[in-house]
Structure 1
């Protein structure tokens, strides 16, 4: 006799963890394409990017939230509010902890916040397992288990994963999908994200601009895509998309960092971002970038609104 087939499940999951815990890299590995901005700089994710994982038995919609942190600015406070709202609305939460770093105050701060959210099932995910040996990994898995026990969190699963090494990524998808409610697909087959293209293009430019710059820049860099328009008069088989975007920083002194000597750095940013955008949109792109100063925009509600926060 055939076993009855299991019901289709669909719903939302989010990854939480301190900055640089591997949340965005895991999101991209699960979706199989680049939807979340990844960078070795903390606090690079600002928008709730949804990556959609299509499976035969389920549809898992990943909500990528900014890292929760102790806020120092109005922008920081708004990001934290966004995180807590998201946690309350998803069906399952994945708590990401990197394998190569001991549990620190940041991890405990987030776990404490998670303990307050009683109803949502929580999965502990130990990321970056490719960076440690099995002894160190075992110690980290035990530490995560104990942290849950101390705070009264009952982990639905504790799972080691390497998104970069593609180890156990599919298992993470399977375990998260099992915890979703029964339901129909929420998005059409083939959709990978519901982010507007303009937002994703802005994120790719921002990622390229953050690469290899000094620590003072990440928080004070915002990108706004002013327009994306097909170039007129091009033959149908050779389209070109014109993208005009502004990179905003907070101080005149930061302008030189972004532009670089004789404009070399900005040129490199443009080339890197253009390749990523062309891969995302599947069409040749002309990218026009300008660097502008928006003084202390992180502390100014009017500027925050203008820049999309």
Structure 2
């Protein structure tokens, strides 16, 4: 025991902890700045003085309506969606050992969206869709899609094969997207407008009831995934190595995958088809804090939140008084980055 107490502290680990804490602090500060800018972005501008007065309860009725009923719910949802999708992508990349894994690319977003779309197709009115039910339906669709994709890409001798996983996910996502397009032909004009908005990746759930429907999933699943950071470090080493280190690989893969699907599906239920967040967020975080998931997971959450919040703010500002869907803004950023990663992986 005396020898253990006298062991030298690893200077590299201590340095990495300081770097990780610094990066998280900077990302948090950037989110706060983007939060303040986003509250002042829209057709009706609120000056910093008006914004401060409104936050303190001294604004006019119109200012309170704009800030508390329209902008703040959307900003909070943007942050939650970005964090959830980025962490989901980070988990999938660790499980599959594939740097290109992402809830959108693997078809999970499409599967969740198809379930939501089927429900809206059968529900009397799109404007009265029960918010609390949507994440449950989306998770069912996402889980079914994930089960199909991972079953088709699993080999008894080699485990999950990264290349087959990517190709299977792209094929399944394309098939589901085709089914969704066919389904739109049977929709009423009101429901078609709703679905078109969803497919473009517009954050359509912009009221506090949608915040409350999404918040429990994020609050429960994010800490669970963070807790599994050390397990993901081991899984990232490969199935044989993880088994040799005493990890029940199949059980841990199932648990963490279920959490990742829950995060992605619940976010999709209120955000629509926003892609690339689960791809870009973890890659940016990995460049900043390294591969250890104790720091990578929270950094991914903050990077994803910053990305979606910034994209939503740009989308609301660039073509005022109309707006560009957040998913399109993210795609403009994400598509070139995805091609860069493909080239880099090939090389």
TM-score by length of 2: 0.24
Identify which of structures 1 and 2 has the higher relative contact order when contacts are C-alpha pairs closer than 8 Å and 6+ apart. 2
Q: Which has the higher strand share?
A: 1
TM-score by length of 1: 0.26
